[in-house]
Structure 1
Amino acid sequence: MRRTVRRYLDAPCADVQLCVTELVTNVVRHVGEGTLVRVRVARTDGHRVRIEVTDSAERALPVPRPATDDGEADSRRR
């Protein structure tokens, strides 16, 4: 996946590669292996890149939670 992103952008892009990998990993972790994932990487102008990762799982809708003081903490510790 990282090589595909690098070839598509035709430039060094470690940050973009890491972002794509993390987003796809979140789908696998929270929705499950075997879920159809669509990744779209596009240049929006000369210096910006837009990354979209979507999945087809209807059961994995976001659930709002109240903010806490440690809201950026790892949710597995709760």
Structure 2
Amino acid sequence: MQIGQLVKTKSTFSDEGLSRKMIYCCEEHVDLALDMIVDEFETFPILSKLDVDNLSTNCEFCRNTAVYVVGNE
């Protein structure tokens, strides 16, 4: 089983299949999230820092507070 299969990520779907993926992650797991996007979509990932003060989203790898969202679009 691959790591990507263990992590539930937020995705949207189109008629052509999976089109967009976003992974919420903490400082510790940002490298893993970046690697997952590159491996799955073979494109440059987009990294955005979240406003932690107004967010209660957890890291999808460890459940700490998410600091970044990594996506392919």
Short-chain TM bin:
under 0.3
| Structure with more of its chain in strand, by fraction | 2
TM-score (norm 1): 0.25
| Structure with more of its chain in helix, by fraction | 1
Higher relative contact order (CA 8 A, sep 6+): 2
Larger Rg over CA atoms: 1
